[in-house]
Chain A
Amino acid sequence: SQQGEEDPQALSIQEGENATMNCSYKTSINNLQWYRQNSGRGLVHLILIRSNEREKHSGRLRVTLDTSKKSSSLLITASRAADTASYFCATDARAGGTSYGKLTFGQGTILTVHP
């Protein structure tokens, strides 16, 4: 079963606008990650936020995590056409030790940024 549920399923914006994607999950997590997938390619890691963090920034990316609501959001500021891709959240639910790379992925949000 899928741990993460993402919304919206698809998002279409103009260049320069901000894009916000949301992810909800069901169980306690060790950390939550966001990945990007360009059409026909593999997934690429964007950012990781630990369960004891509330917000994290990386360039134009801002991720928030609310463990009480079991939700996260990814904000891409000043979007560019090159940001067009699918974005996935992935949860690492291992309580201790390591997850051995076993992440649970959401269904993803398809982002289209129009020039």
Chain B
Amino acid sequence: NAGVTQTPKFQVLKTGQSMTLQCAQDMNHEYMSWYRQDPGMGLRLIHYSVGAGITDQGEVPNGYNVSRSTTEDFPLRLLSAAPSQTSVYFCASSYSIWLAGISGANVLTFGAGSRLTVL
């Protein structure tokens, strides 16, 4: 059981180039999300998906595109890379846990991360 798999682990781009970060999960989780991690900023949500064919924006969506054609895959596309997109990117998946006395909680399973540098 691989969990959440991200590729590539490292990537260097030049300003203006485009690329796709791949994310795949094998746990049949409904929900998937992309976060970026910057020093001193914690993790910030870029985009998320609640199921195949359904995506929505998070806190910092500009410059990124996503799609979800299958339950397993949730690629993140950088349309025209900028130095401000230098970051570590994490893909996560989850499903709702219905706890007694409280509505659906989501525990995230993260991939190992993709470190992107834009020159």
Contacts and interface: CB of A to CB of B under 8 A. Distances in A.
Interface size class of A (residues with CB under 8 A): 20 to 34
Nearest to B41: A107
Interface in B67-119: 90, 92-94, 96, 99, 101-113
B90 A43 contact: yes
Contacts, number: 90
A6 to B, nearest CB: 8
Chain A interface SS verdict (over half): loop
B68 to A, nearest CB: 12
Interface in B26-65: 31-33, 35, 40-45, 48, 50, 58-59
Contacts of A105: 35, 42-44
Interface of A: 1-2, 4, 30-31, 33, 35, 40-45, 48, 50-52, 88, 90, 92, 94, 96-108
Interface residues of B, number: 34
Nearest to A40: B113
Given A48-B107, A105-B42, A42 B96 contact: no
B111 A100 contact: no
Contacts of B105: 30-31, 48, 50, 92, 98-99
A102 B42 contact: no
A19 B106 CA distance: 26
B34 to A, nearest CB: 11
